[in-house]
Amino acid sequence: MSKIEKNLIHYVEAEPGQLECVINLRELLPADRERERFEAMWQSFLDSDPANLDIYRKDGNRLVYLTEQLIPTKTNDRCPLLLVLGNPASHSVKAGMFFSFESGGREHRFWKNILRPTGVLDLALEDSLPVEERNVSRRERILNLDYDSCFCIGLTVFISMPSAASGKWSGIAAIKRLIGLKALRRLESYERERVIDCAKVFLGHRGAVVAFQKNAWDNLRSPSAPEYSIAKAKAGKLKGTLANLSSIPLYCIPPTRLAGPARQVLNNFFPNTKFHEL
């Protein structure tokens, strides 16, 4: 296991596809009013998804939780492509796989309606398979590069703190509500470093990064790249280079909830799954 030490947060590799994160709440929430606000919100946040009880633990000034990061260590001659999502859904973290299922145990649109039709990655599986079996198969195939694609796929999240998949406490908006905007900005600086470090190792001097969310794009882009807007994302106009790594292209796709536009823009960026310029 490797460990990245930080004053505010550190990350420890746990099970395949997961990191254990430990946040120093004194560093994240240095002002009394920030900490009081967090404590007042905490139980409501924790109760928003049953999986939170299995992945979060608060011990005094330490907030410990599991998050998602699935980066294969095997290599081949395929071009690496790092997909950066917003923040993980709590139920997917508990299940041990990105986008583990939608309501009713259905196959998630990310696999079925976005990646598979573009040819970037086909790991969609039949709904008739048990959810646990689908998740294990998908995780093992990504780790072992056992799929047809011209890309070697890695997945990570920008904000590591998980939240519910829907409702008041969903998405990065829930994390902002829980800790406040100032604390979110503090956290983003550490998360940005983690993702860029991940990209350096996984991509080397080739490949690309694809962001699926506003915070990810605005924090990872170089200063010359355009600022985020949903209109620009849907029009496929958000492209540039990764901050501090000008040799690595960075693209932004509409969020996964907009499956049609996300699929179209991804297909436009990588037509016929061939991208020789990488």
pLDDT of residue 185: 98
| The predicted structure's pLDDT at residue 122 | 87
**pLDDT (tens digit, 9 = 90+) per residue, 74-124?**
988 999 999 999 999 999 999 999 998 877 778 889 999 999 999 999 887
Check: CB of residue 91 under 8 Å from CB of residue 100.
yes
Indicate whether 121 belongs to any domain.
Answer: yes
List the CATH number of the domain containing 112: 3.40.470
* Average pLDDT along the chain: 92
The answer, yes or no, to whether residue 256 has pLDDT greater than 80, is yes
User: What torsion do the CA atoms of 188, 194, 198, 201 make, to the nearest 10 degrees?
Assistant: 140
Structure tokens at 269: 């960026």
Residue 202 lies in a domain: yes
Q: Which residue has the higher pLDDT, 132 or 65?
A: 65
pLDDT at 277 over 60: no
Tally of domains in the chain? 1
Q: CA Rg, the chain, in Å?
A: 18
- pLDDT for position 273: 56
User: Does residue 65 belong to any structural domain of this protein?
Assistant: no
| Residue 75 confidence (pLDDT) | 87
Say if 208 falls within a structural domain.
Answer: yes
pLDDT beyond 90 at 130: no
Instruction: Assess if residue 262 is contained within a domain.
Output: yes
Residue 234 covered by a domain:
yes
Quick check: 6 pLDDT over 90? no
pLDDT of residue 3: 47
Quick one: pLDDT at residue 5? 45
- Judged against a pLDDT cut of 90, whether residue 241 lies above it is answered with yes
Would you say residue 242 has pLDDT above 90?
A: yes
In a domain, 127, yes or no: yes
Q: Mean pLDDT check: name the lowest of 125-129, 145-149, 218-222.
A: 125-129
pTM exceeding the 0.95 threshold for the entire prediction: no
Would you state the pLDDT for residue 175? 98
Q: Is residue 178 part of a domain?
A: no
The pLDDT, as a whole number, for residue 66 is: 98
Higher pLDDT among residues 273 and 46, named by residue: 46
Query: Which domain range does residue 112 map to?
Result: 72-161+197-273
pLDDT at 141: 93
Is residue 248 predicted with pLDDT exceeding 60?
A: yes
